[in-house]
Amino acid sequence: MTDKEMLELAAKAAGIEGEWHEGGGNTLALVSNKPNGQINWNPLADDGDALRLAVELGRRYMIVIEIGHSGADVQFDGHAAEAFERNDDIRAATRLAVVRAAAEIGRNMP
């Protein structure tokens, strides 16, 4: 699954709608039209977006995030999504695990 596909499914799980824009350096962001203006949303790249995504998922599902020495694991409704750190970046692994979990939830939504 590509990053874009994962982010689209994660956005679906979180109820976020908008248009996808690709920026420089292979970045991808969802530009969502909110009442207070546009936001760029990419929980794969932004710690705050990943935390807000996890909180939104936690409103609907029981999720558990475990962060270890070499990776992160997100458990939800009997499923798990995990990611291992690359380049000593445990935060990136945690963001990826959260997005993978959200994408799995989005994939199973109507």
For 75-102, what is each residue's pLDDT tens digit? 988 788 888 876 788 999 999 999 999 9
Domain ranges of the chain: 3-107
Q: How confident is the model at residue 71 (pLDDT cuts 50, 70, 90)?
A: confident
For the chain, the average pLDDT equals 84
Report the alpha-carbon distance of residue 94 to residue 110 in Å, rounded.
27
* Domain 3-107 coded CATH 3.30.2120: yes
Q: Report, in this order, helix, strand and coil percent for the chain, each rounded to 5.
A: 45, 30, 25
What are the tokens at 51?
């935390």
Q: How many CB atoms lie within 10 A of CB 9?
A: 21
Rounded to an integer, the average pLDDT of 18-29 is 64
Q: Cα(first)–Cα(last) distance of the chain, in Å?
A: 19
Residues 6+ apart with CB under 8 A from 8: 20, 106
What is the phi/psi pair of residue 101, to 5°?
Answer: -65, -45
Instruction: Give, in degrees to the nearest 5, the angle at Cα 59 between 54 and 64.
Output: 50
